[in-house]
A and B are shown apart, each in its own frame.
Chain A
Amino acid sequence: MDTPIQFQINTGSAEPIYRQLMDQLRRRVAAGQWRAGQELPSVRELALELAVHPMTISKAYGLLEIEGLLERRRGLPMLIAVGHARPAAARERIEQLRPTLQRAAAEARELGIPKTQALELFARLLDASESGTPR
Chain B
Amino acid sequence: MAPRVEIEGLTLAYGRQPVLQGLQWRLHPGQVVGLLGRNGAGKTTLLEALLGLRDTSAGSVRLFGQPAAQIDDIARARIGYVPQQSDLFEELRADELLAYFRSFYPRWNEAKVQGLLERWAVPRDIPIGRMSGGQQQRLSLIRALAHEPELLVLDEPVASLDPLARRDFLRELVEQVLDRGTTVVFSTHILSDLERVAFNVAFLREGRIALQSPLDELLDETRLLVGPEARLAALSGVEVLMRRPGRWLVRRIDEATLAPGLVAQRASLEDLFEALT
Binds B, one of A13-21, A72-80, A87-95: A13-21
Pairwise interchain contact A110-B167, C-beta atoms closer than 8 A? no
Given contacts A11-B192, A50-B196, contact A16 B174 (CB under 8 A): no
**Which has the most chain A C-beta neighbours within 10 Å: B175, B196, B263?**
B196
Residues in A whose Cβ lies below 8 Å from that of B191: 11-12
Residues in A whose Cβ lies below 8 Å from that of B266: 14-15
Pairwise interchain contact B219-A53, C-beta atoms closer than 8 A? no
Indicate whether A101 reaches chain B with its CB closer than 8 angstroms. Answer: no
Indicate whether A48 reaches chain B with its CB closer than 8 angstroms. Answer: yes
Pairwise interchain contact A106-B197, C-beta atoms closer than 8 A? no
Residues in B whose Cβ lies below 8 Å from that of A51: 167, 170-171, 174, 196-197
Residues of chain A from 48 to 67 with CB closer than 8 A to chain B in the complex? 48, 50-56, 59
B125-145 to A contact mask, C-beta < 8 Å, 1/0:
000000000000000000000
Minimum Cβ distance to chain B for residue A132 (Å): 23
Residues in B whose Cβ lies below 8 Å from that of A17: 195-196, 216
> What is the interface of chain B mostly: helix, strand, loop, or mixed?
helix
Minimum Cβ distance to chain A for residue B3 (Å): 17
Interface residue tally on A, bucketed by range = 20 to 34
Pairwise interchain contact A14-B219, C-beta atoms closer than 8 A? yes
Indicate whether A85 reaches chain B with its CB closer than 8 angstroms. Answer: no
Pairwise interchain contact A11-B263, C-beta atoms closer than 8 A? no
Indicate whether B229 reaches chain A with its CB closer than 8 angstroms. Answer: no
Pairwise interchain contact A16-B219, C-beta atoms closer than 8 A? yes
B156-195 to A contact mask, C-beta < 8 Å, 1/0:
0000000000010011001101100000000000011001
Residues in B whose Cβ lies below 8 Å from that of A55: 30, 199
Tell me, in angstroms, the Cα distance from A106 to B270 when the chains sit together. 22
State the A residues within 8 Å of B (CB). Answer: 9, 11-19, 44, 47-48, 50-56, 59, 106, 110
25 intermolecular pairs with C-beta atoms under 8 Å apart: A9-B196, A11-B195, A11-B196, A12-B191, A12-B192, A12-B268, A13-B268, A14-B268, A15-B266, A16-B216, A16-B220, A17-B216, A44-B178, A48-B175, A48-B178, A50-B196, A51-B171, A52-B174, A52-B197, A53-B174, A53-B198, A54-B174, A54-B177, A56-B199, A106-B263
